[in-house]
Each structure stands twice: as C-alpha cells, then as structure tokens.
Amino acid sequence: MTRRTTSLTLDRITVKGLRARGRHGVLPAERELGQEFVVDATLFVDTRRAAAGDDLSCTVHYGELSEALVKVVEGEPVNLIETLAQRLADVCLDSELVREVEVSVHKPAAPIPLPFDDVIVTIRRSR
C-alpha cells in the first residue's frame, strides 16, 4: 500500500514596483534629501477559501497592504535597506493569512559613483 501525502502549495499575491519617497541611508545627504525606493512584495497565501466564496475578507487586500508598505518607506528613516526590508516583511506578516513573504527593496539612486541600474536587497520570511 502506498502512502499519499499532500502538501499545500501556497498561492502568491504580488505587489510589484510600489514607489515611495524615503530618507533611508547612512549618508547625511540621503537623510536630508531623500530618494525614491521601489518595493516588490510577494505574499504566500492559501487563496482557495477566498476564491470559493468570492470573499475579499478571506484573502489579503493588496490595496490596503500597499498603503501600509508606503507608510513604512515614508516613515522613520533607517541606515540600511536590509532593515527597511525587514520592517516591510513584518507588515506583510501582520496578516494571519500570510504564511511567507518575499520582499525586495530597490534603491535605484544609491550613492554609488559608477554606472549601475539598481541596488536590490531581497529577504524571505515566514511564520
């Protein structure tokens, strides 16, 4: 007799390219002038209940989540975008529905004296 195990494959809800102005960085000019940050957040959620009932209360409201993430970026400055990414992940994990989250923080205007496209820190956190 073969034993079957079922593992739950989680669905993904992604907000990509969310832009907000923040004053994060270690240099005084970054704190004084601020700059644009771009956030990508992927939430790993079981959306079957929401889909079955066509019920927003059974999933993550990505509009409200986006507003909360922007408040973090626009809020209290930190030195490292790693710290900012952790704060953003914590906001995503505030919802009991979110089992895991991957957050990328882009700093396209980072103070690097060479040609570059972007600086990105990506973290993955789970319950």
**Beta-ladder partners of 38:** 19, 106
Which amino acid does the sequence have at 104?
S
Does 107 participate in catalysis according to the annotation?
A: yes
Q: Which of 34, 102, 107, 122 is catalytic?
A: 107
Among 101, 117, 108, residue whose Cα is nearest residue 38: 108
Residues 32, 89, 64, 17, CA torsion sign: positive
Exposed e or buried b per residue across 38-57, where buried means at least 16 C-beta atoms within 10 angstroms of its C-beta: bbbbbbbbbbeebeeeeeee
Residue whose token pair is 């989540």: 65
Active site residues: 107
